[in-house]
Structure 1
């Protein structure tokens, strides 16, 4: 049940259920179903039945499952489902650095750890807040639609930057990046909104990437090539630095 407190002592009550479809995707699924049924009605079954199967895929793409969100104060949770495709020390995007026209305090220009999460068309594409706090910035940048798995996609693709600040002043910046198939980034929040950790903040349609810029002095707690889950996987713990190694097998 959404909002129910669950813990590692076995307290709480859970059961499996089909994940709901986000309202943003229902219209696309229904359009696909209507078109496929039209072809079947016109005896173009060779087109209609494959389209009907495709419509099921459209509904599946927009699935919006509940997630059990860690509540530890030092935890930074994954904002996206997908594969950890890049981990690097880089400077944050210019749009998230320094004060903006509204007087919002931005990130430092010094290099920090960036974790890139690649979302395939088979992943859940609802993005979630990595920390609780106030949306300080939401900056949309038009651009290209090259492969989101490429490093230069962070600077050249269509993207949207989000900056969240906790009550204690700690900030996290992350970027939603469109890819080869993704053609629209849909925000659910606006500057000034207060969000909880793990709260839904946006959606990228049909395959894409999210970059997360960790605070200074904080290393990734995930490994390159690791599969992670939005709102559940802990990407990092604030102020913790250590080398982690994994074996692909």
Structure 2
């Protein structure tokens, strides 16, 4: 009974505080402000998100928290054996399509979004083929030279998919175009899960100490900065350029990643 209560308390802390909702919102708000500052020439302080919690936002919050507790963050109360990259992938996949399921008018270019999500899932699950483990911290700790091409290719594909999944690209539906900027609550909730999962999968896990804490969140902030840079670049390219990029460049590169994963799996056996 005591162990059950301790387990409930531990998981509650993970879900609601660290690395869950509280840290997720704090991290996301900082990065979202940086994104708005970088993406707008005429900077003005944005309005706060609407206080009303919609079904879409509630779904995104729940799925994002589920994904966040799977991260290999230092001092994560959830034991490493209980974490799974599949749970993180499924949770974040639902955040990308919550708008489509509940409010389709707020989804821009659903076809391209599907391509981006497929590429992202490939990047997440590709490194797990040879280690045959779904624990995020195990995948990040794999440093076998033969798997380096897979990790590099999947990491690059992951970053290319981020601007679409985070809605940083210039494609936006008419219903979402506002004259005055407003903090995007849904995006705030997903910054940490997406960027932290990259750190978890492609960087060796940090130790449970202060240096490891700084290292993990420093790299995660760096991933967010790369995503912001890609988003700004895509906005300068315009809608036509972005559509061409995902249709003619990212998709063939995903095919190349599949070939690398298959070849590596065969050669490593």
TM over 0.5: no
Coarse TM-score class (shorter-chain normalised): under 0.3
Which has more radius of gyration? 1
TM-score (norm 2): 0.27
Higher relative contact order (CA 8 A, sep 6+): 2
Counting helix residues as a fraction of each chain, which structure ranks higher?
A: 2
TM-score (norm 1): 0.28
